[in-house]
Amino acid sequence: MTPRPLPHRFDPLRWDPRGRTAPTAARVLFWGTIALIVLVRGFNSHQLDGFVPPPFDETPVLYMALLAFLAPTVVLWPLLPWSPSPSRRQTLATVGFVVSTLAVYSVADFGHHLLMAVAVAQTTCAYGPRVGVLPAFLFGGVNFSVQYMVPPFTDGQALFNSALITVTGLIICFVVAGLAAAAHRAQHTRDLLTDLEETHRKLRHYTARTRELAVAEERSRMAREMHDSTGHHLTAINVCLANAERGGPVPDQVREDIGEARRLAKQALEETRRWVRALKPLNLEGRNGAEAIGALVQSFADTGASTRFRLEGVWPDTMDGEAELAAYRAAQEGLTNALRHSGADHIDVTVYVDERHVAVEIADNGVGAGDGATDHGFGLTTLEERLSALGGSLTGHNRPEGGYVLTARVPREFDPSLESVR
């Protein structure tokens, strides 16, 4: 089941800095900073007619060595971890990256503060805020060392600037850690919502099953009583009438009356058996879904009309319990009505399964029905109300070649907006 978005505009998951690779903002910041460092150094070299800036005139080798760390900084960038639990190789890449950025930071003309922001954000994402604060203090210390040795800066200025750099790094660390924590809580909340929706769906499914079990027990009791009492008495009446018909000579009128009584008793017995079959509860032998409908269709095969069942598609295992029961009852009601009212000798029951619905179609070759047939009769009216409560529908129409088609459509997934209806 796909989780629904959190009920507010700001989605922390979209702002989570952690991931398999660096976030877009970090990539833009890093490569933009590298490009600016190179461009500014080239521009300043052109202006000063020399590559080494004045503060490093006496130590050009040191300047070139520190600036050369720009290469490992670029090489190590793709290897950096941006999610918790990094590997040993990724940890070594992080250490190398921080050392390289510290070296470049000490000699860069422009963009060195942005390098610090990237380093602090990366270590915070991979190792948490406790480790993320370390680069902030390291960059502050390197800044103090460089400005302490440069004549224009006094000791107080160097100390103030370094403290400012450190505080900036700490702020970046806490902001990144806050975004990561908010994303973690949002994901946890979303998982809980998904679990609650799944639990609610299962509870609804079990409730429908429990309700159906109670109904099934009552229907089974009624079917047994009807079979054992009414069916037995009608059978006994039929036997008595047969004995009377084979008895001594009786007037022709009496013999005709006895024959008519036998016919009516036989018809009543068939009607009783039909109702016993219609009262048969669902899932008495562990069947469900299409298997239960197929068994139901097969059970109507001895009623004098041939029946055939067909399934097109795959029955959904996650179908709501009440929707599954509604599909079964639709087939049951359609078969019963076709036998009682249409005079059909052949009935086809087809179950169509698509991505959104399960459709049960009952088609017979009987005499058909008038317009609005589904609006009359307690059984069909109750079935239509049941389907509507689930977001489904019940339709029927006469077949051009003769007969009637009843179609019940049931949604595969329950719509929560219909909860109040149910």
Q: Which of 207-221, 269-283, 343-357 has the lowest mean pLDDT?
A: 269-283
Query: Using CA atoms, how far apart are residues 161 and 164, in angstroms rounded to an integer?
Result: 5
Identify the pLDDT of residue 227. Answer: 59
DSSP secondary-structure letter at 19? B
309 and 167 in a single domain? The answer is no
More confident call, 255 vs 66: 66
Three-state secondary-structure class, residue 57: coil
Instruction: For residue range 324-370, list pLDDT tens digits in order.
Output: 888 888 888 888 888 877 778 889 999 999 988 999 999 998 887 76
End of a domain among 161, 196, 231?
Answer: 196
Q: What is the CATH number of the domain that holds 315?
A: 3.30.565.10
Split at pLDDT 50, 70, 90, the class of 253 is confident
Q: How confident is the model at residue 292 (pLDDT cuts 50, 70, 90)?
A: confident
What is the DSSP annotation of 324-338?
HHHHHHHHHHHHHHI
Position 416 pLDDT exceeds 60? no
Q: Looking at the structure, tell me whether residues 318 and 185 fall in a common domain.
A: no
- As a whole number of angstroms, the distance between CA 329 and CA 321 comes to 12
Is the per-residue pLDDT at 243 higher than 80? no
**Number of domains making up the chain:** 2
| 409 domain residue, yes or no | yes
- Within a domain: 78: yes
Which segment, 194-198, 309-313, 389-393, is predicted with the most confidence on average? 309-313
What is the C-alpha separation between 331 and 311, in angstroms, rounded?
13
Give the C-alpha separation, 87 to 174, whole Å.
24
Measured CA to CA, the distance from residue 261 to residue 241 in angstroms comes to: 7
Give 16's pLDDT tier (boundaries 50, 70, 90): confident
- Order across the sheet with 346-353: list the strands: 306-312, 346-353, 357-364, 404-411, 393-398
Q: What is the C-alpha separation between 263 and 241, in angstroms, rounded?
A: 10
- pTM value surpassing 0.75: no
Q: Which two tokens stand for residue 398?
A: 């006469």
Q: Write down which residue in 196, 214, 242 finishes a domain.
A: 196
Angle (deg, nearest 10), helices 112-127 and 24-48: 150
Same domain, 171 and 71: yes
Residue 77 CB partners (closer than 8 Å, separation 6+): 22, 30, 97
130 and 21 in a common domain: yes
Query: Does position 7 have pLDDT exceeding 60, yes or no?
Result: no
HSE-up (13 A, CA, CB side) for residue 327:
31
| pLDDT of 285 higher than 70 | no
Q: Does 107 have pLDDT greater than 60?
A: yes
> Do residue 31 and residue 176 come from a single domain?
yes
Helices (H), 150-288: 155-225, 232-245, 252-278
The first and second tokens of residue 267, run together, are 């018809």
* Mean pLDDT of the chain, nearest integer: 80
d(CA 332, CA 329): 5
Residue 8 vs residue 50, higher pLDDT: 50
Q: Does residue 234 sit within a domain?
A: no
Q: Kindly state the average pLDDT of the residues 48-74.
A: 83
> Which of 158, 181, 196 lies at the terminal end of a domain, its last residue?
196
Domain holding 350, by residue range, is: 288-416+418-422
- Cα within 13 Å of Cα(8), Cβ side: 8
